[in-house]
Structure 1
Amino acid sequence: MEFSLYPRKSHLFRFHVLVVVGLLMSSVRGGGSEEYRAINCRKHSAVLTDFGAKGDGKTMNTKAFKSAIANLSQVAGDGGAQLIVPPGKWLTGSFNLTSHFTLFVHKDAVILGAQDEAAYPLIEILPSYGAGRDGGGRHASLIFGTNLTDVVITGGNGTIHGQGQYWWDKFRADKLKDTRPYLIEIMYSDQVQISNLILIDSPSWNVHPTYSSNVIIQWLTIIAPVGSPNTDGINPDSSKNVLIEDCFIVSGDDCIAVKSGWDQYGIKFGMPTEDLIIRRLTCISPDSAVIALGSEMSGGIKNVRAENITAIDSESGVRIKSGVGRGGYVKDIYARGMTMKTMKYVFWMTGDYGQHPDDGWDPKALPKIENINYRDMVAENVTYSARLDGISGDPFTGICISNVKIGLTEKPKKLQWNCTNVEGVSSQVTPPSCDLLHPSKKVFNCPFPEDKLPIEDVQMKICST
């Protein structure tokens, strides 16, 4: 089944490119073109078939992708280049992107991830994690890039299909030695755009911007079976100035998972995720959160703004996941304008999330959870209104909840607000919140910042293939 959040162009078109020996110089050979929005347009262009690729769904095209990108990297300083993936099914293993570059996936193109571990080379463990998230080492993502400037992955609603069933089966059978590949991972990079794509059946996480800044992620449709393991939608990780908007996600794990490193490794690396905007998100995730903060948050999470969120048949709305050993902080979190239908929890905070990378974690490393603000929310068919569990001796403080109406399922839990080791205030909340949030007869609104973040000032350009 295909999901779409925006209209497609119905006409077919062809891409025509001339590749000149040495530096690549593009020249129109006739035919139509496709317009798209991007942070930057490119002077040069090439089509994947110019490098011997075959879109039959059977031929391995890893060498073609690598050859194309290597050649196009030569013109990075001369206006940059775009690589067009035309209609067809393009089987490939992992390949790396380059700077001042656009990967454009045609609406009738499918990039197919190879079902072969050897097609995803092992790469270094993330220094803020200290171990592969599944254990062992870690495989490179299908589409990978590191130390890049100005990189765009976009298309006309084209598809990237991870063929994840192969990996899920081996993971469940404990037959994998190393961490599964993600679909898209960009590391240590600046000026990143990922947009207008359909992502299907990732082996694990779908989109993972890591140690990066000035990241725009928009108009993604991300689909995985709700029972698939760890198929998080979008995981901004130790990254700054990030915008996620207009995405539709069906996931076997959290739709958005905000992270910043794991226990002692994240504390030492010390790179927070901060200045993050999430808006106009629709999520279906029966066993996980719409937006999760953590559990790997040891480098800190700060200044997250979420609004206009729709949750359908999901385990929880915004969930904070932390625990003893994490250290770090989650603070200055703001969410408003959420509509939730069929939920286990509306609000969930966990202070005993106990997974650790190894035995070297510090039991004295306690997280700081403070200034958490939720307002203007409506939920229906809810089992629990809230479960808020801080840490003994380390309470979660500064929690504010206002103007929230929760409609309960036919068989709700008797205790609707289960609160321990938390402190805060609430106003206009139905059913009334727990005593630790001091339900007030006075009407007030929890804060939500009205200033704009720098990522909102980015002006998109109209580009053409």
Structure 2
Amino acid sequence: MKQTAAMLFSLLSLSSVWAQEPARPTIQQVSFPKDTTNIATLGAKGDGQFLNTEAINKAITSVSQKGGGVVLVPAGLWLTGPIEMKSNVNLHVSREAIVLFSDNFDHYKLVESNWEGEPAWRNQNPISGKNLENIAITGSGIIDGNGGAWRMVKRSKMTETQWKNLISSGGVVDEKANIWYPSESSLSGAQQKKAGVMRPGTTAADFSDVKDYLRPNLLVFTSCKKILLEGVTIQNSPAWNLHPLMCQDLTLRKLLVRNPWYAQNGDGVDIESCKNVLVEDCTFDVGDDGICIKSGRDKAGRDRGMPTENVIIRNSIVYHAHGGFVIGSEMSGGARNIWVDDCSFIGTDIGLRFKTTRGRGGVVENIFINNINMVDIPGEAILFDMYYAAVDPLPLIGDKKQEIKVQKLPVTEETPRFQNFVIRNVHVNGADKGIFVRGLPEMNIKNISIENANIFAKKGIDIIEAEGIQLKNVKLNSKSSNPLVYIHNAKNIHIDGLMPVNATDLLFRVEGDENKNIQLSKSDLSKVKQQSEFTNGAKKNVLTIKK
């Protein structure tokens, strides 16, 4: 009776996620006067040689001071230093225009900024704005951050010819000749722990010797309201491409966001501590996470206390990336009320990627995902991992994954939480593993519902240190079936309608002495040779199999 009651409570908890689903947000939109100022009328030259920093910024400032309007970048190749946006300005980049940022680091001064969720000194962002309202970048032209001048490159990501060409271009390599850096200053920064991170008493001058290492994100808007990015191609960033930070009412529409696949920290968009966000009809092909939700790192993020919330992501495609849709790992301020609909991930290292680690704190909850297609995923199709280790999700040649040391620690404000995820209608053709869920012994991942999933993957399902997991109508075409489902110290696991496609040597391996209330029902077991195996203290009575 106790087991039945526990299962009923678990199912009620999962079903209540949908019952408590909040209303989707309304995102406020921008509006501008039709007055247009062509940057060429203020002395800009689109010849790829003339430095247009002064002319472009003069146009933006002038239009803003007159009450707003459009700043037009016409056909041409427009070389420039940092662009500073102003309120009520729409920077419109024509189809035949390329805005190319200078590769002269002296054009970028060290400024107070933010890096991976913490206050830090960084080189000035190519495009920036702070405390602005009603701003846009539109058109169908190209904005190029000239990131190759800034980024370090790992040898393992290059062919021998590419590596030799890179070395011959200048720069330096590290002692092991594994990583190329564009300068000695950049290498020196890499050898420091948290170079550029603000500490009491430090100033920009303290980091002048490692300035080249402090790569900027291409576009950063901080504490801005009513933002539109639409139509343009944004590419080749020194680090992250797009970084809206503490913004409200943000719309990203019909963007093409690109970085080389080997681009270190080459994320597509990192939406950090923002409220009311719409991302639709966008395409990402980048070197790190594609569409990523963040809210600050560790104590800095908890002290900020601003979750990313009320986010709609739909009708978007991610090609190469470390993850298609990602939350974390810097999520210390929390994330909640996020919808992801009708997206496709093609060749991303991981499909749906939710990552954190001890020390972060923060609560990620109320995440609703529907209609996701994935093709050729080298890693996990769906991954929840609370042991993120800040390394590439797929080991490169010569890399070794650290063994996870499992120990139960006290729950504190530094303990992260993942709870209340509903994932429906997922189709996967090609992945290394279908589903991977790994929580902490002291803080299990809780209340995850995955329904209507068709998965073709080498390996099946791992559920580790999790509670309240419901899988319904999951079709698994897996090459490895020993076991198809691995469960370690999990509680209230209900699998309804599991469909193994191939002959299965072992369906369940249950491990650990803290498992409780695992139930399989309404599943086709005709191709299963052995239903279950219990190891390392697991008791047989924790698993119930019903036809």
Give me the TM-score of the superposition, normalised by structure 2.
0.68
Q: Distance in 1 between matches of 2:125 and 2:329?
A: 22
1:85 aligns with 2:141: no
1:187 aligns with 2:175: no
Letter in structure 2 aligned against 1:438: H
1:290 aligns with 2:346: no
1:425 aligns with 2:470: yes
| Native 8 Å contact 1:128 1:266 kept in 2 | no
Q: Distance in 1 between matches of 2:215 and 2:124?
A: 8
| Native 8 Å contact 2:449 2:471 kept in 1 | yes
1:383 aligns with 2:427: no
Q: Distance in 1 between matches of 2:385 and 2:112?
A: 30
Question: For 1:151, which of 118, 135, 155 is the aligned residue?
Answer: 135
Alignment match, 1:438: 494
Deviations 1:64-100 (A, max 9, x none): 1121122222112xxx121000100111111211111
Q: Closer, same or farther in 2 for the Cα pair 1:264/1:172, shift >3 Å?
A: farther
Residue 184 of structure 1: how far off its partner (Å): 1.4
Residue 129 of structure 1: how far off its partner (Å): 3.1
Structure of greater relative contact order (alpha carbons < 8 Å, 6+ residues apart): 1
| Native 8 Å contact 1:366 1:394 kept in 2 | yes
Counterparts of 1:76-155 in structure 2, within 5 Å, are 76=67, 80-126=68-114, 129-132=117-120, 137-155=121-139
Q: Distance in 2 between matches of 1:168 and 1:127?
A: 15
1:199 aligns with 2:190: no
Q: Distance in 2 between matches of 1:82 and 1:391?
A: 51
Give unmatched runs, 5+ long, in structure 1.
Answer: 1-37, 357-361, 444-465
Counterparts of 1:154-169 in structure 2, within 5 Å, are 154-155=138-139, 157-169=140-152
Counterparts of 1:324-343 in structure 2, within 5 Å, are 324-343=358-377
Deviations 1:124-167 (A, max 9, x none): 133993344xxxx2122211111011001101x10001111111
Residue 44 of structure 1: how far off its partner (Å): 2.4
1:300 aligns with 2:334: yes
Q: Distance in 2 between matches of 1:46 and 1:250?
A: 33
Residue 172 of structure 1: how far off its partner (Å): 4.6
| Native 8 Å contact 1:128 1:268 kept in 2 | no
Q: Distance in 2 between matches of 1:120 and 1:222?
A: 23
Counterparts of 1:18-417 in structure 2, within 5 Å, are 39-76=30-67, 80-126=68-114, 129-132=117-120, 137-155=121-139, 157-169=140-152, 172-173=180-181, 174-175=186-187, 177=210, 178-285=213-320, 288-343=322-377, 344-354=379-389, 365-408=414-457, 412-413=458-459, 416-417=460-461
Letter in structure 2 aligned against 1:224: N
Alignment match, 1:448: none
Q: Closer, same or farther in 2 for the Cα pair 1:291/1:128, shift >3 Å?
A: closer
Letter in structure 1 aligned against 2:265: N
Deviations 1:26-78 (A, max 9, x none): xxxxxxxxxxxx731324221011111111111111111121122222112xx
Q: Distance in 1 between matches of 2:225 and 2:290?
A: 24
Q: Distance in 1 between matches of 2:313 and 2:323?
A: 14
| Native 8 Å contact 1:48 1:65 kept in 2 | yes
Q: Number of residue pairs matched?
A: 387
Deviations 1:436-464 (A, max 9, x none): 44212478xxxxxxxxxxxxxxxxxxxxx
Deviations 1:307-345 (A, max 9, x none): 111111111111111111101111001111001001121
Letter in structure 1 aligned against 2:465: N
| Native 8 Å contact 1:279 1:306 kept in 2 | yes
Q: Distance in 2 between matches of 1:375 and 1:335?
A: 6
Alignment match, 1:16: none
Q: Distance in 2 between matches of 1:69 and 1:314?
A: 38
Q: Distance in 2 between matches of 1:202 and 1:294?
A: 20
Query: Which runs of 4 or more aligned residues in structure 1 lie more than 6 Å from their structure 2 counterparts after TM superposition?
Result: none
Letter in structure 2 aligned against 1:56: D
Residue 376 of structure 1: how far off its partner (Å): 0.4
Q: Distance in 2 between matches of 1:421 and 1:220?
A: 39
Q: Distance in 1 between matches of 2:243 and 2:136?
A: 14
Q: Report the secondary structure of 1:290's partner residue.
A: strand
Q: Report the secondary structure of 2:453's partner residue.
A: strand
Letter in structure 2 aligned against 1:298: S
Letter in structure 1 aligned against 2:235: I
Structure of greater Rg: 2
| Native 8 Å contact 1:42 1:102 kept in 2 | no
Percent same amino acid among aligned pairs? 29
| Native 8 Å contact 1:113 1:142 kept in 2 | yes
Q: Closer, same or farther in 2 for the Cα pair 1:383/1:212, shift >3 Å?
A: same
Q: Closer, same or farther in 2 for the Cα pair 1:254/1:66, shift >3 Å?
A: same
| Native 8 Å contact 1:372 1:399 kept in 2 | yes
Q: Report the secondary structure of 1:236's partner residue.
A: strand
Q: Distance in 2 between matches of 1:339 and 1:93?
A: 40
Q: Closer, same or farther in 2 for the Cα pair 1:81/1:332, shift >3 Å?
A: same
Letter in structure 2 aligned against 1:81: G
Residue 430 of structure 1: how far off its partner (Å): 2.0
Q: Closer, same or farther in 2 for the Cα pair 1:192/1:246, shift >3 Å?
A: same
Q: Distance in 2 between matches of 1:48 and 1:196?
A: 20
Q: Distance in 2 between matches of 1:334 and 1:67?
A: 44
Q: Closer, same or farther in 2 for the Cα pair 1:91/1:253, shift >3 Å?
A: same
Deviations 1:170-219 (A, max 9, x none): 79524353531222111111100001001121111111111110000010
Letter in structure 2 aligned against 1:427: K
Q: Distance in 1 between matches of 2:116 and 2:269?
A: 18
Q: Report the secondary structure of 2:269's partner residue.
A: coil
Alignment match, 1:450: none
Q: Closer, same or farther in 2 for the Cα pair 1:162/1:393, shift >3 Å?
A: same
